[in-house]
Each structure stands twice: as C-alpha cells, then as structure tokens.
Amino acid sequence: MLKPLKTFASHDITPICVARVCEGAMRLEAKKDILLQLEMDETGEFLCATDEYLGISAYATTRDALISEIHQQFAMLWREYALESDVKLSIDAIALKTVLKSFFREV
C-alpha cells in the first residue's frame, strides 16, 4: 500500500504538473495542467505517480527520472490508443482514448 507523505528524506514529493509532453518527435500539450500526486512505495525506494483514469502508473528512484517516465508513458499511451483506429480497440481502450484526447492535443 502506498502512503502519501509531505516529505521523505531527500525526495521531493510535491505534485508533478504536466503541461507538455515531448518524447522524440511527439509533442503533446495538456488542455489544462494535469497534477499528479506523488507517493513513496512501501519500501521507501521509489517515488510513484499513478492515475488510473489517465492510465498512468510510473515509478522511479528520483523525481527527474519519474518525470521522464511519466512523459514516456503519456507518449506511449497517445501512440497506442489516441492515434489508433477505434476498430482496432476494445471498449476499455476506446474509453482511455477518449480520456487522453480530452486531456491532450498534439502540437
């Protein structure tokens, strides 16, 4: 179980704001800033950002690495769901596609 903390040793667990995602040639802009709450995992080794609604579950040992992982995951989700034809997607995948497109636009 993850426990939200105000501070944890040297880790900054203030929320991460996602306004843009730049991954390779892909550029996504959030239609409004997305705040992801951070927690430490039960071992105290990993910073975690999860948002089931957006399909994100990212873990890393540093804040910078976590931000990079979040950007990679949003880019992957965009490629795999938002850009895919509905015909090739399940009902749940189409729902995620709709959510992603309501939060981001490609620029």
Interval 81-92: pLDDT, tens: 999 999 999 999
| Span 33-62, pLDDT tens digits | 999 999 999 988 999 999 999 999 999 999
Task: Look up residue 90 and give its amino acid.
Answer: S
Q: Report whether 14 contacts 35 (CB < 8 A).
A: no
Between CA 1 and CA 42 the distance in angstroms is 6
Domain boundaries, the chain: 16-106
pLDDT of residue 105 exceeding 80: yes
How many CB atoms sit inside 10 A of residue 53's CB? 9
Question: pTM for the complete prediction?
Answer: 0.86
If one compares 12 and 102, the residue with the highest pLDDT of the two is: 102
pLDDT of residue 14 exceeding 50: yes
pLDDT of residue 2 exceeding 70: no
Beta bridge partners of 8: 11
